Structures are given as structure tokens and as C-alpha cells.
Structure 1
Amino acid sequence: MLRLVTPPATPVVSLAEIKRHVRVENSDDDSYLESLVSAATGMVDGADGWLGRALITQTWDYALDLFPCQRSGSIAVLPIPLAPLVSVTSVAYTAADGTDTPLATFRTFNATSSQPAYIVPAIDETWPLTKCEPESVRIRFVAGYGAAGAVPAGIKHAIMLIAGHWYENREDVGDRALAKMPMASEALLMPYRNWRG
């Protein structure tokens, strides 16, 4: 289970950027345009987003029922579900005896990559045994590109295309033929998508 702890401090696309994109100069539709940007961002950002990544820096809690099992000749890898990872703030678990215990040492891989990172036990260690109950492993992590200016231009432009499409086509049905969602937005987003199982 993923739960957002600290949402992004600013939108990915500013009001000025979306107004320039849809060629609106007055402020009559400002709040409506901001809501469209928010909805379009929600389609691609975070735990439920199409990209499987965090766009602007945000903090998440990730809960699992147990640590992954180590199989013969392999490392028990625990993937962090959103990229890019900034840091793992804490890992805690409910021990077999029921005590809540912080995990002092672990290793993080792919932390500087735009692909999902993962953590593994410290060298010569294994994951500890946990109590058999839901959410017995808890991870807090920070993910995102940083500020809005660090979000890749393709992602920002796709959000503007989606919001602009909704601004021009405000109904699902009507008495005129509506254009389909531009495929350009999907093409812009595809290189950044993390494929989840």
C-alpha cells in the first residue's frame, strides 16, 4: 500500500504556462485551468499515475506484509515503487515478537536513476523475520525530480496537451464530432513510463 505523506509543493505546470499554451490572456478561467492541470497531472503522477513515478519531490509511506524471500543464489530485492528515488528516510518492521523495530542498515540501488530503485539487506545480512500481519514492513521514502523546472519537458508538455484538450472539449458527448485525445501526449510520456507488473 502506498500513501502520500507530503504532496508536491507546487504544480508541475504553472498557471502562466498553461495560459500561454491555450492562448488565454484574461483571468476569467484561471481556477478552471488550474483544476485541469491538476487533473491531468493526477493522471500521470504518483501511485495511481500512468507513469509510475513521482514528478515533483514528494514523500510516501509504503507498507508491505513481509520482506521479500531470498531464493538460492539471489538477493531478496525490495523495489521502491516510484521513481526517481531521492532517499529512503526510514525502514521499520513489526518483529515476530510484536515489537516495532527500525531497520538500521540496508543498501539502496538505482537511487540516482530515473528507473525504480530498490533496497537490499546490508552485506552478509538477510531481511529480518516479521510478525505475520498486514503492513508489518513500513518504508518512508522521498521521490521526484525536484522542482517543476527539473521535470522533463516531454512530461510537462504532455500535461499541457491533455489539459488543453480538456479545455477545448468540455463534454464527453455533443452534437458535433469530438476529436480523440491527441496521441502526441502518450508519445511524449512513453519514454518515462515505468512498467509495473
Structure 2
Amino acid sequence: MPTRVLSGPAPIATPADIAGKHTANDPAIIALIAAVQAEIDGPVGWLGRALGVQKLEFTTDRFPGRDPGAWDFSLFPKVIPSTIAITFRNRDGVEQTIDPSNFRLAEDRYIDFRRGFQFPATECAPDAVKIIYEAGYNGTPVANGGTGDVPANAKVAVVLGVQQMKAIGAENLFLRSEEVEGVGTFQYTVSEQAGEIIRKATDRLLSGLRVYA
């Protein structure tokens, strides 16, 4: 049941949050923020939750059984409720959409289908069922259907990680970039040494936010 990132995550810090002399859109600082955030954020990060808003795709080969006390699907938190779209391919390979009235989101991550809803038959394929949704903190209050603001300690952790990366120098950070609309979308990896520095700099700050599988 893989989850992959379709777009994002949105950065949770800006160059203005980083001490030092640089411009508000300094590409090197933007890249450092993205690299540090990637170590902790989203399906590939170690925190176990989405921080910056990102579009995700969950796929599986079938609908679940009706196991007592079990959730139907577990997504990657924190899910933005209004963004969930569930589709499937029927036995003829035709894509169908599940009406949102047939399911609800529970505890920021679990899909619970309405009791009495009949799971449809699906095509025999590893991605017969697909859930596309957005996760992360979108700045909208929970009472209004949002996920609230990014926790302050998460932002501080990213800023601290960037400062640490600046201190050790760029030789420990490997970046590839692709220009998009004059701004740039960064793809990045970090060395083992750099990843360990980021982890040590952020572990204590983020311990209360970590989600364990």
C-alpha cells in the first residue's frame, strides 16, 4: 500500500527566518530549507507526519474487509479533510468515484466507510483503488475544516537544521535543481553525515510530534 508524493511539500520556513546576510529569495537558502525539511517531512521523512502541505497518492489492490474495530484505510497524517478523493477501477477497468457521503475522516488520518456501504468489486491490479488527498498544516483552523498552523517547534527545528547545514558547509549537501517558472523546484539528497546532523538538531524539538507506525 504505497504512498507517494505528487506535489509539495510547501516550505514551512523562508530565507527571512534564517540568520545571516542573504536575499529574501536566495536559492541556496531555499534549497537548504527544502533539504532539511525533506529529512523530517512527509512519507519519506522520519517524523511520520506531513508538515508542509503536500498532495499524496495512496494505492492498494482492493477495498478492505469488515474487520471489527479496524479502520478501513490509514492515510498519512495530517490529512486535510476536504481534499480526499477515492476512486477505483471496476472489473471492466473503468474508473469510478466513491461519493464523499459514503466515508468520513477520523483522527486526522483514517478513512471510515459508512456502515451499510457495499464495497464494489475491483479490477485485479495492485493499484485498483486510489486515494488522492492533501496532508500537512494549511493554516486554516480545525474548527473550519482545516489542519491549523504548522507547530512552532517544527519550524524552529527546520531553521536550526539549516543553520547547522550552513555551519558544516555545502560539501555535505548534494543538490539538483530544475527551474520552474523562474523560481526553481529542488530535488535533493543529503549525505549520511548531514542527515545525522539534521536529526540531532531536531530530535528533541520534534519528539512530541513524531507519529509511530
Do the two structures share a fold, i.e. TM-score over 0.5?
yes
Which residue is 1:102 aligned to? 97
2:49 to 50, 53, 76: 53
Q: By how many angstroms is 1:195 displaced?
A: 1.2
Q: By how many angstroms is 1:184 displaced?
A: 4.7
Call closer, same or farther: CA 1:94–1:26 in 2, change over 3 Å: closer
Name the count of aligned residue pairs.
Answer: 181
Please give the residue correspondences for 1:1-197 in structure 2 after superposition, counting only pairs within 5 Å: 1-8=2-9, 10-18=10-18, 20=19, 24-27=20-23, 30-71=26-67, 73-75=68-70, 77-104=72-99, 105-110=101-106, 113=107, 116-147=108-139, 150-170=149-169, 171=171, 181=197, 183-196=200-213
Percent identity of the aligned residues?
26
Q: Read off the aligned partner of 1:155 and give its amino acid letter.
A: A
For the 8 Å contact 2:61–2:126, the answer to whether it is kept is yes
For the 8 Å contact 2:50–2:76, the answer to whether it is kept is no
For the 8 Å contact 2:104–2:114, the answer to whether it is kept is no
Q: By how many angstroms is 1:26 displaced?
A: 4.6
Distance in 2 (CA, whole Å) between partners of 1:12 and 1:158 is: 10
For the 8 Å contact 1:108–1:120, the answer to whether it is kept is yes
Task: Compare CA radii of gyration and give the structure with the larger one.
Answer: 1
Distance in 1 (CA, whole Å) between partners of 2:114 and 2:22 is: 57
Deviates more, 1:133-142 or 1:58-67: 58-67
Q: Structure 1, residues 23-77: CA drift from partner, whole Å, max 9, x if none?
A: x1255x9332221111001111122111222222222222111122223x34552
Unaligned runs of 5+ in 2: 140-147, 173-192
TM-score, with length taken from structure 1 = 0.78
1:188 is paired with a residue whose SS is helix
Unaligned runs of 5+ in 1: 173-177
For the 8 Å contact 1:86–1:144, the answer to whether it is kept is no
CA RMSD of aligned residues (A): 2.9
Deviates more, 1:47-56 or 1:37-46: 47-56
For the 8 Å contact 1:44–1:51, the answer to whether it is kept is yes
Distance in 2 (CA, whole Å) between partners of 1:183 and 1:58 is: 25
Distance in 2 (CA, whole Å) between partners of 1:127 and 1:154 is: 41
